[in-house]
Structure 1
Amino acid sequence: MNSATTGRTVRRRTLRVAAAALTAAAALTLTACSGSDAATGTKPAGRTDKGAAAGESSGAGSSAGAQGSDARTGTDAKAGTEAGGTGRQAGGTQAANAGKADSGVERCHTSGLKAAFATGEDAVPDPNAGGSTTTSVVLTNKSSRACKIGGFPGVDLKTENGGGVWSLQRSTAKHGSITLEPGDSTDFTINLALTKEEEGFWQPAFAVITPPNETTSLTLDWPWDALVDQRGATHPATFVNPIG
């Protein structure tokens, strides 16, 4: 091979090598571009993918949160409803029990009561009051249970020989009822028109007390002076007031 041929051959090889190098570089460039495009094509926007994932995650979270919220709300609502129902039931039960307890208290019966005139210093009627004095009769629950009492007792004044009875009229005072626990006491008053005159008087020996709504009585000795005899009067000055 002559020198000219050798020179052309070397140049061709050089050109081929250069061309090959350019081709390889181009291929690498294309590969890199292709990889980028592929990535872009497969995942057009990483942010979009992340956003979509976040949306799904958010959606799942929202769904889970909604379910959790629904579950909690449902539970709370149920608990609240049950609590409300329980509260109402408890309130109803307490009201029912209170009603039963109230309705379970019977009236005071004569057999469960003790009567006595109040004879303390302040309770003694003034003999000089001229019809404007009072005496008190104390009623005590001597039974072992609570009882309810209220209204007007019956009061009959009787003489020593039993020949006369004065059933006292009632005042126009309003009245209610009270509950006496065992050992508790209440009282009522009797307005008295006392007198020291030798004429026109009526001297009781006993006071017969009949508790409200009862038919049996308690008899007390009369501890005070004579009364103005007004047994036939329309509005006598001696009359009975309600209990309490």
Structure 2
Amino acid sequence: MRVHKLTFAALAVAASLPLAACQSSGGGKGQSDPSSAAASTAPSPSDSKASDAKSPAGQGTAAATGSPANGKVDKCRTDELEITAKDNTIDGDPDGTVAVQLKNRGSRDCTMSGYAGVDLKTNSGPVSAKRSGEQAGPAVLKPGKSVAFGINYPVNNSGGSGVRITGLLVTPPDETKSVTLDWPGAATLPVTESPGTPVKVGPIGSAGQGG
């Protein structure tokens, strides 16, 4: 009886060995190997370098498109100009002259050309200056630099009271905003019956380049 029990036990052990071997072999195929999964998903060093190279290239393109186009200099605006006027009459001249200076008080270069608008305020109403017809090229003003133009007007030598000048209105070229200045020239204009205005204005730069 003891011999039969040992025999059955030996048979049971022998029968279980193939089954365990099969289960071990099947389980290895069904489970994912963590090391092999990591190897399949992690980028290779060459892929990482290519990705890094593409990223700076994209940033460089964006920076280039945001840069100023062709370096164009914008026009001078009234608010960034310091405008002053002084008597510039030369002894012996039949007419009086006032020089108007426009100084760039901004932080950027700006440009202006052509004629400024000029009106004399008088006790008889405004007198608009007529353009002299002179030609002048554009002036580029760096910060702190200035340019000037001249105003020519007839001097009142008639002995009468004439037309009293009370102020000067200046509008920079291509601008709509004006500034009002004290008139530094002769106090009056002669009374005239001639049509048109006796006051003339020169183009930007006609009174010399400022410092």
| Cross-structure match for 2:19 | none
How far residue 99 of structure 1 moved from its aligned partner, in angstroms, is 7.4
Instruction: Find out whether 1:115 has 2:83 as its counterpart.
Output: yes
Percentage of matched positions with identical amino acids? 33
Instruction: Find out whether 1:156 has 2:119 as its counterpart.
Output: yes
What are the ranges of 5 or more consecutive residues in structure 2 without an aligned counterpart?
1-66, 206-211
> Please, what TM-score do these two structures have when normalized by structure 2?
0.58
| Cross-structure match for 2:100 | 137
Question: Aligned AA for 1:144?
Answer: S
Question: Aligned AA for 1:106?
Answer: D
Is contact 1:173–1:242 with CA below 8 Å preserved after alignment? Answer: yes
Question: Of the two, which has the highest radius of gyration?
Answer: 1
Deviations 1:122-180 (A, max 9, x none): x3x1476332x4221111011111100111000010026xx510011111111221110
Deviations 1:57-112 (A, max 9, x none): xxxxxxxxxxxxxxxxxxxxxxxxxxxxxxxxxxxxxxxx99712x2x11000001
Question: Aligned AA for 2:202?
Answer: N
How far residue 233 of structure 1 moved from its aligned partner, in angstroms, is 2.8
Is contact 2:86–2:184 with CA below 8 Å preserved after alignment? Answer: no
Is contact 2:119–2:170 with CA below 8 Å preserved after alignment? Answer: yes
Question: Aligned AA for 1:100?
Answer: N
Aligned residues: 138
Q: Secondary structure, in 3 states, of the residue corresponding to 1:203? A: strand
Is contact 2:94–2:154 with CA below 8 Å preserved after alignment? Answer: yes
| Cross-structure match for 2:173 | 212
What are the ranges of 5 or more consecutive residues in structure 1 without an aligned counterpart?
1-96
Equivalence map 1:179-190=2 (5 Å): 179-190=140-151
Equivalence map 1:190-201=2 (5 Å): 190-199=151-160, 201=162
Structure with the largest fraction of strand: 2
Instruction: Find out whether 1:221 has 2:182 as its counterpart.
Output: yes
Output the aligned Cα RMSD. 2.5
> Please, what TM-score do these two structures have when normalized by structure 1?
0.51
CA distance in 1, matches of 2:171, 2:157: 28
- Higher RCO structure, 1 or 2 (CA under 8 Å, sep 6+): 2
